[in-house]
Structure 1
Amino acid sequence: MGSDREQAVFEAGIKLGALYHQWVGTPISRVSASSVETAIEHAVILQPFVEEITVRLDRSRMTGNRFGYSELSGLMFDVEIVTRVGFAYCRARLSPSDGYPLMQIAEYNEIPEISRH
């Protein structure tokens, strides 16, 4: 088993990957986007090790089909998640980068011993 810091990074990656694959393809419109953002946040925050999550969906990419909705795509996501295992945390993002929904670690560290008390 790895360190708490390694586990926090792993958990962030797993959570973002699951979020992406679970929600891509969901019918969405500009009207329903805020409720979908909230639903994703409420679902992901329930999972172990998740401390914070913010989901924003790019409404400019919601062009709609002839029936009035779009399908949620990876390029619509702007997500930031914080995971914590023990005294270690990881901040990770899912956001568009050069036309690709890129997942990346923004920061990971351990809470200094001095701050634990």
Structure 2
Amino acid sequence: MTATDPTDRDSACFEAGIKFGALYHQFAGTPVSPDSAPSLETAIEESIENQPFCESVTVDILTEKLEAEIDHGYTELTGRFMEVEIVVDHEDVEVRTRMEMEDGYPLMKVESVSEK
């Protein structure tokens, strides 16, 4: 097997994966209610946007689903309550990623990779 240096495209995709790993594992388990969801969305977006190469983060906490799960005023944030889009720009390569539920699993995937 021949080893090669990672391309800018490889590095940009890796950076996008790092952002999703940080987002999910930093915020999963956070207490959330429909009333606190908007401020938590903003906190998640601003936190992840601080990371290098991150162009934008959009978090949509699905409040209707939260309401169905709440017993005692709140529930814990998990992937089933979020839809997320992250855009990374690394060395003029833009990677668009998304997380949404697919077959009962919060699937994180690359939507597109383009060179600027």
Q: In structure 2, list runs of 5 or more residues that go unmatched.
A: none
Q: How many residue pairs end up in the alignment?
A: 110
CA RMSD of aligned residues (A): 0.9
- After TM superposition, the score normalised by the length of structure 1 is 0.90
SS at match of 1:103: strand
In structure 1, C-alpha distance between the alignment counterparts of 2:39 and 2:13, rounded to whole Å: 28
Percent identity, aligned pairs only, is: 46
> How far off is 1:78 after superposition?
0.4
SS at match of 1:18: helix
Q: Say yes or no: does 1:37 pair with 2:41.
A: yes
1:65 to 61, 67, 71: 71
In structure 2, C-alpha distance between the alignment counterparts of 1:59 and 1:97, rounded to whole Å: 18
4+ runs deviating over 3 angstroms = none
In structure 2, C-alpha distance between the alignment counterparts of 1:65 and 1:20, rounded to whole Å: 23
- After TM superposition, the score normalised by the length of structure 2 is 0.90
**C-alpha offsets along residues 32-90 of structure 1, whole Å, 9 cap, x if unaligned?**
00000000001011100100110001112212122x11110111110001101111110
